[in-house]
C-alpha cells in the first residue's frame, strides 16, 4: 500500500470521527459538549495537517511519475475515481460516459477504507471459462449436424450396383439476447463525508452480481430465457431412490463419451458434495480426494470438482450434479455493458444510483458432452 493511500485512509478515519460527533449532537438536538468540542477541534487540527501532507506527497508523486507509463496509468485511474466522486456530488461535467460493469444492490457501509469491507463469500463455478463462450451482440446461430433420422454410412458394394444415398440434417441452435440488469445505490452522505474509492467497490459488486446471475441461469435457467444445464440436459442417469452411491457416479461418468472425457469436470452444490464426500470404495478409501496437482480443491474419479451455490440442493427427485466437458454448453454475452448514473431517481433519498444492463443467452449445444444425475423418489 502506498504512503499516500495510508495518509488518505488516516484522514478518512479522522473525518468519520468528526462526523460522528456532529451527528450525535444533531440527533439529540443540542450543542456539542465541552469535551466534544475539544475532541472536534483536535481532529480538525489533525485533518488540516494531514491534508497538507497529502497534497505535498501527491505533488512529489506527480513529479516522480514524469513520463513513466505506469505512473501515468495510476494518475489516470486516480483522476477517474475523483471525477466519479465529483459527478456523484452533482458535477455532471466531471465524468464522460464509461463502460463500467454491473452489480448487486448493496448498501455501502460508512467505512473509510473500501478494501476492508467484508462481503459474503459465495461458491461459484467458473462457467465463463468452462463453457463455449462468445462475446457478440445480437443473435448467435450455432449449427449442428443431426444424424438421428439418416446418417451417412459406408457399405459393401456389389459390382454394377448403386450406392444408397444417406445424409443427416444440418440444424442449428439460436441464442437470443435476454437483458439482465442490476442497480446499486450509493449514499450521498457517504460520498460527501469521505474520500474513499467508491468507484472500485461499486464496480466490484456490480461485476460480482452480473457473473452470479449469468452463472445461475447457465446452470438452472428454465426454457423461458437462458436454458440452463440442469433442467435441459437430455443425457441423464436416474437413481432408483434418493441414496447416493459410487455406482451412480460411475454411471454418470460413463454416460459421456471418451472424446469429451479429457476436459470433463463435476459441478454440484455443497449439499451434494457432502453426500459424495462420505462415499468409500471397497478398500475403505474415500472416492473424493484433495486435488494435489493444483494444491487446492477436490477430485472425484480423477476429475476436478467445482462447487456452486447456484446448483440444485441435494434432494429426492432432483437433478443434483452435472458432469462432462462444459464446452458442450454455449454461452453468449454481449460485447457492450450499458451503464448509467442516476442523479435524479434517488435525489429525495439523498443518494445516487448506478444501473447497468447486459444481453446474454445460453444453451446446451452438444448433448453428448454433458450428463446429469437425477435422484429417485424418497423411500
DSSP assignment of 360-372 equals EEEEE--GGGEEE
pTM, two decimals, is 0.65
Q: How far apart are the first and last CA of the chain?
A: 59
CB 80 within 8 A of CB 320: no
Q: Which cell is 16 given? A: 468519520
Spans of all domains in the chain: 3-99, 100-138+180-379
pLDDT tens, position by position, 186-227:
887 766 665 556 656 776 677 778 888 999 999 999 877 899
pLDDT tens, position by position, 29-47:
888 898 889 988 998 898 8
pLDDT tens, position by position, 173-191:
888 989 888 888 888 776 6
Which residue matches cell numbers 452533482?
A: 90
Amino acid at each position: 500500500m502506498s504512503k499516500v493511500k495510508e495518509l488518505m485512509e488516516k484522514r478518512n478515519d479522522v473525518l468519520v470521527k468528526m462526523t460522528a460527533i456532529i451527528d450525535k449532537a444533531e440527533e439529540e438536538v443540542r450543542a456539542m459538549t465541552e469535551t466534544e468540542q475539544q475532541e472536534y477541534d483536535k481532529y480538525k487540527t489533525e485533518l488540516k495537517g494531514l491534508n497538507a501532507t497529502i497534497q505535498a506527497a501527491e505533488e512529489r508523486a506527480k513529479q516522480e511519475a514524469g513520463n513513466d507509463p505506469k505512473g501515468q496509468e495510476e494518475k489516470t485511474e486516480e483522476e477517474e475515481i475523483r471525477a466519479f466522486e465529483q459527478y456523484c456530488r452533482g458535477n455532471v461535467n466531471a465524468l464522460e460516459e464509461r463502460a463500467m460493469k454491473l452489480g448487486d444492490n448493496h448498501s455501502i457501509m460508512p467505512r473509510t477504507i473500501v478494501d476492508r469491507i467484508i462481503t459474503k463469500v459465495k461458491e461459484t463455478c467458473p462457467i465463463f471459462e468452462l463453457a463455449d463462450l462468445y462475446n457478440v451482440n445480437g443473435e448467435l446461430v450455432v449449427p449442428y449436424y443431426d444424424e438421428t433420422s439418416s446418417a451417412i454410412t459406408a457399405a459393401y458394394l456389389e459390382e454394377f450396383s448403386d450406392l444408397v444415398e444417406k445424409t443427416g440434417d444440418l440444424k442449428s441452435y439460436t441464442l437470443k439476447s435476454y437483458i439482465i440488469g442490476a442497480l446499486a445505490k450509493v449514499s450521498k452522505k457517504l460520498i460527501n463525508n469521505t474520500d474513499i474509492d467508491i468507484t472500485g467497490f461499486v464496480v466490484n459488486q456490480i461485476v460480482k452480481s452480473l457473473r452470479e446471475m449469468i452463472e445461475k441461469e447457465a446452470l438452472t435457467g428454465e426454457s423461458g430465457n437462458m436454458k440452463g444445464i440442469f433442467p435441459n440436459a437430455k443425457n441423464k442417469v436416474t437413481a432408483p431412490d434418493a441414496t447416493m452411491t459410487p455406482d451412480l457416479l460411475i454411471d454418470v461418468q460413463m454416460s459421456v463419451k471418451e472424446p469429451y472425457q479429457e476436459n470433463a469436470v463435476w459441478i454440484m452444490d455443497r449439499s451434494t458434495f457432502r453426500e459424495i464426500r462420505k462415499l468409500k470404495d471397497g478398500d475403505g478409501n474415500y472416492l473424493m480426494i484433495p486435488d494435489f496437482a493444483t494444491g487446492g480443491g477436490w477430485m472425484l474419479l480423477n476429475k476436478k470438482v467445482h462447487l456452486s451455490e447456484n446448483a440444485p440442493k441435494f434432494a429426492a427427485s432432483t437433478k443434483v450434479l452435472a458432469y462432462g466437458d462444459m464446452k458442450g454448453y454455449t454461452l453468449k454475452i454481449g460485447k457492450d455493458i450499458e451503464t448509467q448514473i442516476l442523479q435524479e431517481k434517488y435525489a429525495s433519498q439523498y443518494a445516487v444510483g448506478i444501473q447497468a444492463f447486459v444481453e446474454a443467452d445460453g444453451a446446451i449445444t452438444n448433448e453428448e458432452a454433458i450428463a446429469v444425475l437425477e435422484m429417485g423418489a424418497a423411500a
